[in-house]
Structure 1
C-alpha cells in the first residue's frame, strides 16, 4: 500500500488540475463565450463538464489503467477527427450567432445546461493525448508515491494515493474554469455590444484554428 499523507496527494492533484486546465485552448474559448452569451449557469455547466473529463483522464493516468490508455492512443485518429469536426462546427455557429444578444440566466433550462455539460465533456474526452499530458505533469510535479518512480508503480488498489489525487485534479480543474466564469461575468457587465460582437468573432476564429489543427493531426496519425 502507499505510505504518506493523503492530503499531500490531494494538494498535488489540485496543482495537476490547474496545470492541465490553465493553458488557453478551445475549452477556455467555449466557456468564456457561453458565459458571455448565456450567463453564469451555462459557464458553470461547461466548467463542470470539462472538470469531470479532466478527472477521468487523471484517473486513467494515475491508476495505471493501461488498457484504457492504450485504447485511447490506438484510436486517437477517429477521436481527434470527431473532436476536430465538433470544434469547426462550433466555430461556424459562433461566427453566425450574435453574442451581444445575451440570454437571461433564468431562461436556461436543465436540458440546456445538461447539453452544455455533456458537449464539453465529450469534446474534452475526444482528445486522447490529454492522458499523456497528465502523465507528464504528474511526474513533473512529483505527485507519485515515494516508492514509485513511474506511473506504472501506481495501481487502482492504491486508493489512498489515487482517490485524493484524482479528487484534487477535479477541484483544481473546476476551480480554474469557475475562475474564468467569474472573469467572463465581469467582462459581460462592462463590455459594449460592439466589443462583445468582436470578441465573439475572435472566439470563432480561434475555435476554427484549433479545429483545423486537430483535423490535421488526425490525418497525420492516420497516414503514419
Structure 2
C-alpha cells in the first residue's frame, strides 16, 4: 500500500496547476500571443514550456528542497533582475518583429505541427523558472497544501507534481483551442497590433521587476 498515493493528492494537484497557470502574467501574455499568431500548436508549445517550468518548481517544493527555497530567498533580487532583463528582451523582440501568421486552414501538405514551434518551449520555460514570484508562490502553495493533504512519500510527491503539470497542461490546451476557434477573424494588421501590445506588456513586467530591485538597492544604502 506504500506504493499507492493519497487519492486526494490528484484533484488537489490539478487545481493547483490550473490556479498557477490561469492568472495573467508575463508567461501567460506570451503564451496567448503565440496561440493568436501561430494557432493551436503554437499555443500548446508555449504552454508546454510554462508547464515544464511549473513542474520543476513543484518538484522541488514537493520534495521539500529547502536549500533551493533558501537560495531563491537569498538571491531573489539577482534572479528578479535577470528575469526582468529576459522579459524586456523578449518584449522588445516581439514588439519589433513582423508577425508570423499561420493560416487558419493551411495546406494539408504543409500543415503546422508541434514540432514547428518546439523552440517556444525553452523560451517560456526560461521565463517561468526566472520568475521569483512563480517560484516563491508555488513553494507557499505547497506549504499550505501540506496542512490538509499529507504528502508522506516520494510517490505522493511525484503524484502531486504530475497532477500539477496535468492541470497546467489542461488549462493551456483549453485556452489554445478556444483562441484557435476565433483567430480567423484577425488580419495581419490586427496581429501586428496584438504583438506590439504584448511586447509592451512584457517590457512593462520586466521594467517593474528591475525597478523593484533598484528601489530596494537604493533603500539599503
TM-score category, normalised to shorter length:
0.7 to 0.9
1:98 aligned counterpart, secondary structure = coil
Q: Unpaired runs of 5+ in structure 1?
A: 149-153
Aligned partners of 1:81 and 1:215 also within 8 Å: yes
Alignment map for 1:132-211 (pairs within 5 Å): 132-140=136-144, 143-144=145-146, 158-211=153-206
Q: Unpaired runs of 5+ in structure 2?
A: none
- Bigger mean CA deviation after superposition, 70-79 or 190-199: 190-199
Counterpart of 1:127 in structure 2 is 131
Counterpart of 1:151 in structure 2 is none
Aligned partners of 1:6 and 1:161 also within 8 Å: yes
Number of matched pairs: 213
d(CA) in 1 for partners of 2:24, 2:76: 22
Under a length normalisation based on structure 1, what TM-score does the superposition of the two structures give?
0.82
Going from structure 1 to structure 2, the CA distance change for 1:187 and 1:84 (only over 3 Å counts) comes to farther
Under a length normalisation based on structure 2, what TM-score does the superposition of the two structures give?
0.83
1:32 to 2:27 alignment: no
Going from structure 1 to structure 2, the CA distance change for 1:40 and 1:3 (only over 3 Å counts) comes to closer
- Calculate the aligned-residue CA RMSD, in Å: 2.8
Counterpart of 2:101 in structure 1 is 102
d(CA) in 1 for partners of 2:86, 2:121: 15
d(CA) in 1 for partners of 2:15, 2:72: 24
TM superposition shift of 1:53: 0.6
TM superposition shift of 1:169: 0.7
